[in-house]
Amino acid sequence: MYGNQDKRLSDTIIGEAILDLLDEGARITNAILLLKLQTFLSAADETWRETAIRAAIRSIQAADLDGGSRTGVQPPPLH
């Protein structure tokens, strides 16, 4: 149960970052998302939020190392 709550907080933080980027009219890429999460981290004023942001960063980095997919399945190439 505890791990599930941590995952939910991490996903919520990622969602907040994506919404901020959309509001800014920015492109959504893993690199840009990581930069936004870093700004969240520097502004974090509560331990639980800092922990959730760090988990979100690790999640995005892991997806990036996995080729951009959490499932390991590569999307078809665009033509």
The mean pLDDT value of the chain amounts to 86
Place of tokens 């840009």: 32
d(CA 25, CA 64): 22
Query: Per the structure, how many domains does the chain have?
Result: 1
pTM of the model: 0.78
CA distance 9 to 79: 37
* Encoded tokens for 34: 């990581």
Is 36 inside a domain boundary?
Answer: yes
Domain of 51?
2-66
Is 54 a member of any domain?
yes
In a domain, residue 78? The reply is: no
Share of the chain above pLDDT 70, in %: 81
Using alpha carbons, list the distances in angstroms from residue 5 to 20, 31, 34, 52, 53: 23, 26, 21, 10, 13
pLDDT of residue 64: 82
Q: For the segment 6-39, what is each residue's pLDDT rounded down to a tens digit?
A: 899 999 999 999 999 999 999 999 999 999 999 9
| CA neighbor of 40 nearest in space, from 14, 3, 22 | 14
Query: Quick check: 76 pLDDT over 50?
Result: no
Query: Is the model's pLDDT at 68 over the cut of 80?
Result: no
Distance of alpha carbon 30 from alpha carbon 1, whole angstroms: 28
**Has residue 62 got a pLDDT over 80?**
yes
